[in-house]
Amino acid sequence: MTAFLLWTMSLILVWNAVPHLFLWSLKGVEVEHKRRASKSFLIASLKGLVVLPFGMLAPIVMLFVLPFVKKEADRLPKLFWFWDNNISINGDGWAKQSPDGTWVPYGHESYTGDAYYAKGHHPRSFWARYVWLGWRNRASKLAEKLGIVVTPELNADRQKWGTEGVNRKAGPTAVRGWSLFRMGSHYQLYAVYDLAFTLCFRFNWGFKVWGADNREPQAMVVNIAGSIIGDQDDE
């Protein structure tokens, strides 16, 4: 038991040290901003430790909760809000509907296709919801609650370094590299690098200030020191 606890603590320590090592290896970022970003990353780490146990329990909790969630629902029951999603329990995807080609979100009543994260399964199906809430986006509503409030003043105070438009798309619009974002005193470091086949390595740490604006009152905390995921189709 002691060995397991020591191993777990060591893993958490290394996981939370990686962002700082990555940050200080970056070229073209002023030392003062690296220092401020390290402080922001430390705060994100502490908040991430609050999210961690809920995220670890998500695959188990969702097995027992989702069978009782109505198909027409967009949120989990309030009792289980810790495991809810910051967007919708039915995913964040949009798709073209034939024959008119109108774009609709996965949660729209007219959508009849499948989910990009659960091929062959409708976004409102048990399996798609389980993949979305139990594996891909565990406890993201809690991560959002622990994020920062985006005020007009913060939104106007932005800066970024690195490669423009980094993404994990496949095809001609694919952009690999790293980007460091700042909004006020809050920072986010995002990076994507190609691996073998159609896989890529993704890093995402800090507060999601890259897309936060006045339409999104919270910039959620994110603690991904490394993950291997597939390329997104370039549509």
CA gap 22, 129 in Å, rounded: 33
Structure confidence by residue, pLDDT tens digits, 6-56: 888 888 999 999 999 999 999 999 999 999 999 999 999 999 999 999 999
Amino acid (one-letter) located at 108: H
Length of the chain: 235
| CA distance between the termini of the chain | 49
Of the candidates 204, 178, 182, 209, the one whose C-alpha atom is nearest the C-alpha of residue 193 is: 178
- The answer, yes or no, to whether residue 212 has pLDDT greater than 70, is no
- The answer, yes or no, to whether residue 176 has pLDDT greater than 80, is yes
Average pLDDT over residues 99-125: 80
3-class SS of residue 231:
coil
CA gap 115, 212 in Å, rounded: 24
Of the candidates 124, 192, 126, 186, the one whose C-alpha atom is nearest the C-alpha of residue 153 is: 186
Task: Indicate left, alpha or beta for 162 from its phi (over 0: left) and psi (-120 to 50: alpha).
Answer: left
- Using CA atoms of 94, 115, 134, 188 in order, give the dihedral in degrees to the nearest 10: -40
Banded pLDDT at 214 (limits 50, 70, 90): very low
Q: Rounded to whole angstroms, what are the CA distances from 155 to 168, 181, 183, 212, 220?
A: 25, 12, 7, 8, 14
